[in-house]
Chain A
Amino acid sequence: AQSVTQPDIHITVSEGASLELRCNYSYGATPYLFWYVQSPGQGLQLLLKYFSGDTLVQGIKGFEAEFKRSQSSFNLRKPSVHWSDAAEYFCAVGANTGNQFYFGTGTSLTVIP
């Protein structure tokens, strides 16, 4: 069965520092991978997605993620974090068969001045 693991429940970074949020997935075929962000009290917004092709994908708000098949990972990165990036981040995988969608448990990001 498909699954998504986000090993870091909570991360604190200083404003201006770099950020990496980890995501590992379990899926038998080439996955469809996503990162979503949820600001406090809000719905989910798509940051970026990977379907195929270039394994480094760029998203909105200066985020990027790299798909590494050998490590079953899809880590999210940002070179310089802004205070407005404080939110909950969810990695997700979609199945190209069965049409189900799986989310990780999320990583809560705190940004300190």
Chain B
Amino acid sequence: EAQVTQNPRYLITVTGKKLTVTCSQNMNHEYMSWYRQDPGLGLRQIYYSMNVEVTDKGDVPEGYKVSRKEKRNFPLILESPSPNQTSLYFCASSFTGGHREQYFGPGTRLTVT
């Protein structure tokens, strides 16, 4: 089944404790992206990647890191999480480019206390 998977689905952590949210797709997509969803703000793009070893900032990259060492994986790293990063996070992928249809993962709800 073609899909985007994220782990974990739910995470509660404390300020400053490094964490990684994994994202994997099995559709051989070149483009992958991370979004955060906050009430009243919709989804905002954090980082995106056009292909292996090619990443770029979205609208809200501060406090986040990403890497793309393999085509199928695009982990999101919070090196020192803060409470303002409490949010619902979505990973997405598409065949090529952000202007094409994106397929979304199920989301990761992160709480930073």
> Footprint of B on A, CB under 8 Å?
6, 9, 32, 34, 36, 42-46, 49, 90, 92, 94-96, 98-106
Contacts and interface: CB of A to CB of B under 8 A. Distances in A.
Contacts of A34: 101
A100 B48 contact: yes
Contact of A44 (B44, B59, B90, B98): B90
Contacts of B31: 99
B97 A105 contact: no
B106 A101 contact: no
B39 to A, nearest CB: 9
Nearest 8 Cβ contacts at the A-B interface: A94-B99, A105-B42, A99-B98, A32-B99, A103-B43, A101-B98, A44-B104, A43-B104
Contact of B43 (A32, A90, A95, A98): A90
Given A43-B90, A94-B99, A99 B56 contact: yes
Interface residues of B, number: 27
Given A32-B99, A43-B106, A99-B56, 12 more contacts: A34-B101, A44-B90, A45-B104, A92-B43, A94-B97, A99-B50, A100-B59, A101-B45, A101-B102, A103-B35, A103-B42, A105-B42
8 contacts: A43-B106, A46-B103, A94-B97, A98-B98, A101-B33, A101-B102, A102-B45, A104-B42
B81 interface: no
B101 A100 contact: no
B99 A99 contact: yes
**Which has the most chain A C-beta neighbours within 10 Å: B31, B45, B100, B106?**
B100
A104 B44 CA distance: 9
Contacts of A46: 101-103
A72 to B, nearest CB: 17
Task: Give the interface centre of B42, B56, B98, B99 by most chain A CB atoms within 10 Å.
Answer: B99
B45 A100 contact: yes
A49 B98 contact: no
A32 B98 CA distance: 9
A95 B41 contact: no
